[in-house]
Structure 1
């Protein structure tokens, strides 16, 4: 179970927090059939790649702080905060509750609820914008 949890935490740190957009790095953690649902909006693998590229183009730094993680079989639930510094100098912060499902060591699905704690109204969809 520790490996399953570590895969999710590593994906958050190495994909989301990395300042560089790398499809190769994404492919290390996410299955090509990956599906994500953010606040009711669906993204497939290709849209997730676009989402990550967009985040990298609009931010200078992203930090993820995992507050808690619970694992059961191939499912990892996390409660984490995301802080982003935008290119224009603004900052935004989100609270995220997420359920990650893994298969064969890769993330195949993520269902998340994201609440903006700080930021402008235009940042509200940053968790799933693509």
Structure 2
């Protein structure tokens, strides 16, 4: 049931933890979550944007919990697959939306971070022994 820890698991577990707990931030501080994403100030106080951020990040938390669940079950290939999809698709979406909103610094960071996460998953670093 429980997996055998390897040093190559650290980045994946970091991502899983960031998604799990970071996704919970909008429940308590939606303005701060919107600000952290890098969106313009006009969106921080928007009740509509806060509701959407809370709903979307709730789904992000589910992905983090799924990563942890698969890890604890020893299903490392599933973790790698989720990391690849997560990094490639969500990294691109995050970068695209940030560019549209005029926050190119955050767009580069999110796009490159997504590419690294996708690469980690594509190379099978969680299942690699």
User: Could you tell me the TM-score, scaled by structure 1's length?
Assistant: 0.31
- Give the structure, 1 or 2, with the largest relative contact order (CA under 8 Å, sep 6 or more): 2
Which is richer in strand?
A: 1
- Rg larger in structure: 2
Which is richer in helix?
A: 2
User: Could you tell me the TM-score, scaled by structure 2's length?
Assistant: 0.32
